[in-house]
Structure 1
Amino acid sequence: MAKALFKIEPLDCVGCAKKIENQVKELDGIESVRVFPQLGKIRTTFDNQKVTIHQIEKAILLTGHSIHSKVST
């Protein structure tokens, strides 16, 4: 399993965080996704044989939030 941390703008709305979580969870290979609204961070664990970081980024962007930085481990 691989991990990635994405930095976005802090969110004021719990609904926005849930929207991001749901969008990313739809991708095949996502083990877990956790959004920290006030910190503006999204932590993911995924099978990099099934899904790429680029696909995860695209799912986040589809929710209308831009990514400021990412760190994969």
Structure 2
Amino acid sequence: MQKIILQLEELVCPTCLQKIETAVGNIDGVQNLKVLFNASKVKAEIDSEKTTVDAVAKVIESVGFDVLSTKVR
């Protein structure tokens, strides 16, 4: 499992958080998902055999949010 952190554009409402949680939560291989509203970050663990940080970023962007940076630990 890889720990990932994605810095997003500023989240302005709780609905934004729910959209991201739903979209990313449906990706096979994503676990321990946390969307940090005040910090505008997404933290999760991913199974690198099932998905990638780039795939997660694309899903977030597909629901209307810019991903400013990504980190893999």
TM superposition score normalised by structure 2: 0.92
The one-letter code matched in structure 2 to 1:47 is D
Show CA shifts across 1:2-29 (max 9, x none): 1110001221211111110110111111
Residue 51 (structure 2) aligns with: 51
Q: Which runs of 5+ in 2 are unaligned?
A: none
Q: Which runs of 5+ in 1 are unaligned?
A: none
Residue 29 (structure 2) aligns with: 29
Show CA shifts across 1:21-59 (max 9, x none): 110111111112111112111101111111111110111
Count of residue pairs brought into register by the alignment:
73
Question: 2: CA distance between counterparts of 1:21 and 1:71?
Answer: 18
Structure in which a larger fraction of residues adopt strand: 2
Given that 1:19 and 1:63 are in contact with CA atoms closer than 8 Å, whether structure 2 keeps it comes out as yes
Identity %: 29
Given that 1:25 and 1:32 are in contact with CA atoms closer than 8 Å, whether structure 2 keeps it comes out as no
Question: Hey, which bits of structure 1, 4+ residues long, moved more than 6 A?
Answer: none
Matches within 5 A, 1:1-73: 1-73=1-73
TM superposition score normalised by structure 1: 0.92
Question: 2: CA distance between counterparts of 1:11 and 1:45?
Answer: 21
